[in-house]
Amino acid sequence: MAGQPRGKVTIRMEECKGCGLCVEACPPKCLLLARELSAFGVHPAHYTGEGCTGCGICFYCCPEPGAITVYRAAPRARVIAPLDAKVVAA
């Protein structure tokens, strides 16, 4: 089961060599190899557009520097209610 989308991935198709390491390593399985061939005759990785958790595993396992960029969404701000000043310890 994939977690809440917390990021997105961009893949530079001209840099991708189509090895599939990122596709296999992606925990939420939001990367696929494209059906179309690139200009270099390989099936480059493709982001499905949803489900990315922003973990960055695809980036770290990619042998081609600069092919994958992972963008993490900013964490949601937590709202903390102020303590009531009238509460007195006994």
What does the alpha-carbon distance between residue 23 and residue 55 come to, in Å, rounded to a whole number? 13
The set of residues, in sequence order, having a beta carbon less than 8 Å from that of 14 and lying 6+ positions away, is: 38, 39, 40
What is the pLDDT tens value at each position of the chain, 90 positions in all?
Answer: 445 678 999 999 999 999 999 999 999 999 999 999 999 999 999 999 999 999 999 999 999 999 999 999 877 777 776 666 565 565
Q: Assess if CATH 3.30.70.3270 describes domain 7-72.
A: yes
CA–CA gap between residue 10 and residue 14 (Å, rounded): 12
Q: Could you state, in order of their start, the residue ranges of all structural domains in the chain?
A: 7-72
